[in-house]
Structure 1
Amino acid sequence: MDILIDLERALHQCEVRQNKAKAASLIHTSFKEIGASGRSYDFDSIVEMMSAELSSNGYIHSQDFESIQLEASVYLLLYKSAWVDNNGIKSNFAKRSSIWIFSGEKWQLKYHQGTPCLEFELGI
């Protein structure tokens, strides 16, 4: 589902992450996350963390998206990601899973998990 991939990738962008209103509109109020670090987040802590981030010297690359419909308005989005710095150095490889729900008005991220993984070849 292309819209979910677009929304997921929007959450990778500094201009969205640093804007509390934009980030909060994409994240459900009962949001939960288990980060690749093992740390847990809820709605308040993730919005606060993202808004406090400094502008980055790289970007999050994401690929190999797969969506699985769990219910009529609930999708599981699976993908891989890596951090790529301005020198092209790749790090923080992870497999990621997100659960998106449609509230009748918009899609929102309800759950996210990142699990470190072995390095993989970056594709398009």
Structure 2
Amino acid sequence: MDILIEQEVELHQYEIRQSKTDIERLIHPSFVEVGKSGTSYDFDSIIEMMEGEEPSSTRIHSQRYECIHLEPSVQLLRYESALVSEFGEVSDFAKRCSIWVFTGTCWQLKYHQGTPCSPFELEHN
């Protein structure tokens, strides 16, 4: 589902992560995350973490999206991600999964997990 990939990529953008309106549109109030570090977050703690972020020239690269239909209104989105510095250095490789739910008006992220993985080749989107 293209909309889920678009919304996932939106959440990778600093400007979106700093907008309370966008965060409330994209993230479900009962959101839970198990981060790549093993740290757990809920809606309030993820908002607090994002509010503390600083602008960076490092970007998140994501690829190989796969959408798995769990229920008509529940979708599992799997993909790979890595950080790419302004100098092209690649680090923090991870496999990620997100569960998106349709609330009747929009899709919202309800669960996210990142797991460190071995380096992989970056595909150019």
Which TM-score band (shorter chain)? over 0.9
Q: Which amino acid aligns with 1:8?
A: E
Q: CA–CA distance in 1 between the matches of 2:59 and 2:89?
A: 11
Return structure 1 stretches of 4+ with deviation > 6 angstroms. none
What per-residue deviation string (whole Å, max 9, x for no partner) do you get for residues 50-89 of structure 1?
1221001210000000000000100000000000010100
Q: Residue 105 of structure 1 aligns with which residue? A: 105
Shift of 1:24: 2.1
RMSD, aligned CA: 0.7
Partner of 1:33: 33
| Runs of at least 5 residues in structure 2 that lack an aligned partner in the other structure | none
SS of the residue aligned with 2:118? coil
TM-score (norm 2): 0.97
TM-score, normalized by length of structure 1? 0.98
Structure 1 unaligned spans of 5+ = none
1:80-117: CA deviation from partner (whole Å, max 9, x where unpaired): 00000101000000000000000000100000000000
- State the alpha-carbon separation in 2 of the partners of residues 19 and 48 from structure 1: 12
Q: Secondary structure at the match of 1:105?
A: coil
The one-letter amino acid of 2:8's match is: E
